[in-house]
Chains A and B, each alone.
Chain A
Amino acid sequence: MAKRIDVSGLSAFYGGTKAIEDISMTIEPRSVTAFIGPSGCGKSTFLRTLNRMHEVIPGARVEGKVLLDDENLYGPGVDPVAVRRTVGMVFQRPNPFPTMSIYDNVAAGLKLAGVKKKSVLDGIVEQSLKGANLWKEVHNRLNKPGAGLSGGQQQRLCIARAIAVQPEVLLMDEPCSALDPISTLAIEDLIGELKSRFTIVIVTHNMQQAARVSDRTAFFNLAGVGQPGKLIELDDTQRIFSNPSVQATEDYISGRFG
C-alpha cells in the first residue's frame, strides 16, 4: 500500500475555463501533503484530478499526466472507476449515505468491489472503524443510521468507508471545515496515524492545521479573478512556514493577503 504520485504538466478545465494550469509535483508515499492557498486557487480542483473525480462534472476535462508509481491515471484504457478504488476520497461535508446503517456505510465500497462474505465484511468493517478511531463509539449500534451520528463522527465514518477498500492514496478535501475544534482534533490525530499506511493529500484553509498535520505543504495561488490557479511552491512544511522561498507564500502565510 501507499504509492508515490507524480504529476506533470497538469491543467484542468471547466468547459472553456481553465481552472488550474501546468501543475507538476511529486507527492511522497506514507506522508501527509497539505495544499493551501486562497479560495478559487484550484487546490480542490487539483485534488479531484488525482482520483479522476474532476471529470464527473459535466464539461470538465483534464490535460497532463498523473503517475501513480509509474502508471498514468489518464492513460488510454484506464478506467476511472478502478482509479477511484485505488485513490480514496473524503469530502468537505461529511456525506455518509443517509439511507444506510453505520455498518452498511463502511461496507458500501467493499460491496461495490464484489465482497459478499459476511465474515470478511464483518472483519474489515471492524478494522476500518478501529482505523478511523470510531469503533469504541459505535460498535454497539452498527445497525443504526449513519446520519444519526454527530458531524465529527460522520466524518470519521466517511474516513472508515474510504479506508475500508484499502486504497493506496487518501485524498481529503477540507475534511474538518464543517467540524467543531474537538472533532477537528480527532481527525487530525487520525491523519497522523493513517499516514503510516497511506499516501495522504489534504486540502485545508486552516494554516495551523497544515502546519500540524503535514510533512510537506504546497502553496497554490492565482494571478487574479478568472485566472487559472498555479502551484507556487512545494516544500517541507517546516520550511514553508518558517522560510519559504517565494515571497507570495510568505505573504500568504503571514496573513498579508488571501
Chain B
Amino acid sequence: MTSAPPDHPGDRTPASTTPPGQPSTSLRGTGRLGDVLFRLASSGSGVLLLVIMAAIAGFLLYRSGMALSQDKTNFLTTFEWDPDNIVKPSFGIAVLAFGTIVSAAIAMAIAVPIAIGIALFISHYAPRRIAQPFAYLVDLLAAVPSIVYGLWGALYLVPHMAGLNDWLDHYLGWTYVFKVSQHGAPARNLFTVGILLAIMVLPIITAVSREVFRQVPRMHEEAALALGATRWEMVRTAVLPFGRPGIISASMLGLGRALGETIAVATVLSANSKLSLHLLDAGGGTFAQNIALKFGEAGKPGMNALMASGLVLFVITLLVNGGARLIIARRKEYSGANA
C-alpha cells in the first residue's frame, strides 16, 4: 500500500574488493543452522502429511478394487450387505451412506448453533472469571472417550427419548421424516445417534469458534459499537462475519468426527439394512459402525468390501471439506485477513 522509502544512495556503492555482480562477504547469506533445520522440519512435516494421505488413499483404493471386481450388484445403490456370500456376494452401501450422512447432518444442525452460542458466551458475554472455567469445562467434554458417550447414549439417552419422539411425531409427523411407525420401540434410531454425535462434536466446534471470536480485532468491534450497535448487533456486524471462515473450519473438524464416529454409534444404533426416511424408526447404519461390527467375522472378500466402504467415507469427507474450502475461498477478499 505504501511504497518503500528510496534506498540510501550510499548503499549502492559496491564494495571495492568484490568483483561486480557478486555480493560482498558481509551481504552473503550465511545459511544459519537453525534456519536450515527449521525449513527441513516444516517442509518435512508437510510432505509427511501428503505421504500419509496418499498411503491411506492408495491402500483403500487397492483393497476396494479387489472387492468391487467381485461385486455382482450395484455397489452404491443397493442395500444388501453380504460380501462373504459365495453364490452372490453383495456390497450395497446405500444404507450406510444414508445413515452416515443423515446422522452427521442431524448432529451438525444441532451442534453448530449451540457451539456458536457457547463460544460467543465465553468470548463476548460472560465475565472473565466465569468464562475461563466454562471454557475448561467444554474442553473437558472433548476428553471423554467415545465408548462412554456410547454407553451413556444406550443406557440413558435411548430410554429417555420416548417423550421427545412422541412430541416430534405429534407435531412434525406430517413431515414424514419424523413419523413414528413403531410406537414403543427403543429409540435406537438415526435421530438419537444424531443427538449423541451432536454432543460429541460440540466441544471441538466450540473450542475452535471461541478462539476465532477472540481474535476479532478490537477495532472492528469498537467500530460497530461507535455506530450505535447493541452488543448483539456488534456480534452480528463485526464478530460473526469475521469469524465465518473459522466457524466453517470448526464445523468441518466436528463433521469429520461425526462422520467417522464408530463405537458410540455402534452402541446406540440397532443395525439393519433397511433404508428408511423415518428417522425415528430403529435401524440404519453408518460406514464406521458397519466396519466395527463386521470386521471381526469378515472373510477376505468381506474385509475388502469393508475397505471399499471406508473409501466411500473418505471420498465423502474430501468432498465436504472441498465444498467448505470453496465457500471460504469465494469470499476471500472479504475475509478480513487483509485488514
Q: Which B residues are in CB contact (< 8 Å) with A162? A: 226-227
**Complex contact A56–B336 (CB within 8 A):** no
**Complex contact B225–A145 (CB within 8 A):** no
Q: Is A119 an interface residue (CB 8 A)?
A: no
B331 CB → nearest A CB, Å? 8
With A95-B222, A108-B237 already in contact, the answer to whether A147 and B228 are too (CB < 8 A) is: no
**Docked complex Cα distance between A56 and B223 (Å):** 12
**Complex contact B336–A98 (CB within 8 A):** yes
**Complex contact B338–A165 (CB within 8 A):** no
**Docked complex Cα distance between A97 and B228 (Å):** 15
**Docked complex Cα distance between A84 and B220 (Å):** 15
Q: Is A81 an interface residue (CB 8 A)?
A: yes
Contact of A53 among B2, B225, B333, B337 (CB under 8 A): B225
With A58-B128, A91-B219, A147-B338 already in contact, the answer to whether A97 and B225 are too (CB < 8 A) is: no
Q: Is A51 an interface residue (CB 8 A)?
A: yes
Name the residue on B nearest A171 (C-beta): B226
Q: Is B339 an interface residue (CB 8 A)?
A: yes
Q: Is B335 an interface residue (CB 8 A)?
A: yes
Mask of A80-101 contacts with B, CB within 8 angstroms, 1/0: 0110110011010101111111
**Docked complex Cα distance between A85 and B233 (Å):** 13
Interface residues of B in 225-240 (CB under 8 A from A): 225-230, 233, 237-238
Interface residues of B in 194-247 (CB under 8 A from A): 217, 219-220, 222-230, 233, 237-238, 241-242, 244
Interface of B is mostly: helix
Mask of B304-339 contacts with A, CB within 8 angstroms, 1/0: 000000000000000000000000000101111111
**Complex contact B227–A108 (CB within 8 A):** yes
Interface residues on B, range: 20 to 34
**Complex contact B226–A89 (CB within 8 A):** yes
Mask of A82-126 contacts with B, CB within 8 angstroms, 1/0: 101100110101011111110000001100110000000000000
Contact of B335 among A85, A88, A98, A144 (CB under 8 A): A98
**Complex contact A88–B244 (CB within 8 A):** no
**Docked complex Cα distance between A56 and B224 (Å):** 12
Mask of A4-26 contacts with B, CB within 8 angstroms, 1/0: 00000000000000000000000
Chain B residues in the interface with A (C-beta under 8 A): 1-2, 128, 217, 219-220, 222-230, 233, 237-238, 241-242, 244, 331, 333-339
Q: Can you show 14 pairs from A to B with CB atoms below 8 A apart?
A: A56-B225, A84-B226, A85-B228, A93-B219, A95-B217, A95-B219, A99-B331, A99-B334, A99-B336, A145-B333, A145-B334, A147-B333, A165-B228, A180-B2
